[in-house]
Chains A and B, each alone.
Chain A
């Protein structure tokens, strides 16, 4: 081998080491959680080793048979799913107007929607709490469904607006010439073209709602049966009262995370595009 070839091989190896480091950086905590979730409580107090000595699914069985945890899983599905559907419906109408139509006041509305995506939830917690109480839905899943559009709707509208803009205008013009109404153009032509965008945005809003903590914590203080998974995981007490059931908490953490990770792995290209569209491109 010539010196040049050796240098090339070394460079390549060094590069893959870098890649491995980045991958390890992102993955190790997750892998550690999986490993912990397979250990018994007694093994946890031994040395910290990656490979469990007697891997068992006992912790998962405990978690998945716990009525309160499964209840919170159901709550999260309702809340995150409902929020995603609501944000997609109202958001896609708004995004169609903002991305495709010409009208006075559009610029202001675009600014408003973008600024709204950064709305600090904590600042309206006190007011939101009052509203939720006045509506008689405090301590219910409906309270979260009511509050979550605060962040899901502007986000969905903004991401979808940038998707709608990317579509060629000629399609619409041809349809207008053929005498189609706005509703027909939206439903028959643009909507089918934007199904990928809708899937992505729906997924993103679902994940954001699934992970939300402030409102979920405040609105379920008096009614644990309405808790969503982040609150349940934060307050997970387990079956044995005296000690913190670390292994069970990790099993619970894996259960609520794996669906998201699977979704992310399947749709990674789209999610990355959606995220950058939502925050970088105007």
Chain B
């Protein structure tokens, strides 16, 4: 093996020099990380004895400002860079090729940072609000220098890798290297936009942090979760009138006794009073009280919404899919029409239905129902408590049933036609055909569509936020309300974590049902 060229011809950067540069860059990144943590004013304040009791916890300051993920990532990548540097210096073929591939991303990334830094403060990204951008010119310069450095690195490594004296690499190793190299940008982006915010949310959920506050929060342990999850069940008796029978209010509902004073004093508030007619005597009811009754109500509202809207969508979707599946003139146009409710932004369709559901003369649904003599006066769909949830469910079904139909249609198209032909020969009725052939063979498609839609419905935000505001809240709009309006970032984060765990459990189920092993 010859020494890398050290003559004055262009490919003159030696492997040793490049490897050394890489190692220094890795060490520099780690050093910068430590310097910025140690120099951070909030972390320093944690060690400042003169602050006395006002001294914030430096552990929380680090967790709140930096988290663990990004430092760990910098440490890991810095370490890998140092190691790769030493390997490149020894002309290790795999290391040279890997570093060459990865340096392209590094150069691109540095370039994007430079451009976005340079754009900051221009009309395109008018930094309004409480933006904390500082050191603009310095940032552009540093990122620009990094870009130049990585581009040079990339060019030099490409020269080094094209050296014909390097050993060739076997195909599986090459595939492996390309695969992870191609996944790298997506992984890094997902770490930044998913893992890092999730980490910040989990950290915040253990504190009493206020929304948009720059103070180092206090550690409160699981207090937020305890407040969210404490639920108490009591039985209540009905109020008796003089004759000893249960009192019935004007609305036809039984009146129940008030909650015990002690329960109220401990902070419990009533979420629901439920009487189950078949399993309980008429004069008893279960009272569900919780430290956060609004949260418990939002869970119940979300569950009712999910169950009813998803089953409505399934039935209607099945009907639409069966209709569109048969061959007729204009089938293509029909399928396009079905996509329209899906394509309309949910916020827009919410406002559209808001108009159609009005109880003034502009409300078309009310005037249609009046004309058909189904109602005798206009109904205030969105302001009457008992009609709010049905209205939202109706709108969601309208928007999503065609989408469900598309998923089912894809399943219908996989059923072989011969099955129906032989069923016809055997003299099966269409109804029997449906239950004996169509439905069983559609089961996988329906199963997947159901879980997919359930996950969507559990996350519902737009419809509730636009149409009902604070009148009735889904889990998501309650979370938003607590975070933005009540400014309780710590508590809201705990809600967010609970929602995440719930959705994650469902997502695992979905992934298992679907299976990804289809090589």
Bound together: yes
- A-B contact number at CB 8 A: 354
Q: Identify B476's interface contact among A111, A122, A282, CB under 8 A.
A: A122
B194 with A257: CB separation less than 8 A: no
B511 with A103: CB separation less than 8 A: no
What residues of B have a CB within 8 angstroms of the CB of A121 in the complex?
Answer: 459, 461
What residues of A have a CB within 8 angstroms of the CB of B459 in the complex?
Answer: 120-122
Cα distance A165–B519 in the bound complex, in angstroms: 8
A223 with B129: CB separation less than 8 A: yes
- The secondary structure that dominates the A interface is helix
A242 to chain B, nearest CB (A): 16
The B-contacting residues of A in range 206-226, CB under 8 angstroms, are 207, 210-211, 213-214, 217-218, 221-223, 225-226
The A-contacting residues of B in range 366-403, CB under 8 angstroms, are 367, 398, 402-403
B352 with A272: CB separation less than 8 A: no
Tell me how many residues of A have a C-beta within 8 Å of chain B.
113
The answer to whether B176 has its CB under 8 Å from any CB of chain A is yes
What residues of B have a CB within 8 angstroms of the CB of A269 in the complex?
Answer: 332, 335
A123 with B351: CB separation less than 8 A: no
The answer to whether B236 has its CB under 8 Å from any CB of chain A is no
What residues of A have a CB within 8 angstroms of the CB of B362 in the complex?
Answer: 36, 44-45, 48, 246
Cα distance A165–B320 in the bound complex, in angstroms: 30
Residue of A23, A104, A279 with most partner-chain B CB within 10 A:
A279
The B-contacting residues of A in range 14-35, CB under 8 angstroms, are 15-16, 18-19, 22-23, 25-27, 29-30, 32-33
Residue of A16, A133, A268 with most partner-chain B CB within 10 A:
A268
The answer to whether A150 has its CB under 8 Å from any CB of chain B is yes
A26 with B338: CB separation less than 8 A: yes
B residues with a Cβ closer than 8 A to A are 65, 116, 119-120, 124-134, 171-172, 174-176, 178-180, 182-183, 185-187, 189-190, 193-194, 196-202, 204, 211-212, 320, 323-324, 326, 328, 330, 332, 334-353, 355-356, 360-364, 367, 398, 402-403, 406-407, 409-411, 445, 448-449, 452, 455, 458-459, 461-462, 465-466, 475-476, 479-480, 483-484, 489, 492-493, 496-497, 499-500, 503-504, 506-508, 510-511, 514-518
A residues with a Cβ closer than 8 A to B are 15-16, 18-19, 22-23, 25-27, 29-30, 32-33, 36, 44-48, 78, 86, 89-91, 93-94, 96-98, 101-107, 109-111, 114-116, 118-131, 133-134, 136-142, 146-147, 149-150, 153-154, 157, 165, 176, 182, 207, 210-211, 213-214, 217-218, 221-223, 225-226, 229-231, 233-234, 246, 249-250, 253, 256-257, 260-261, 263-265, 268-269, 271-272, 275-276, 279-282
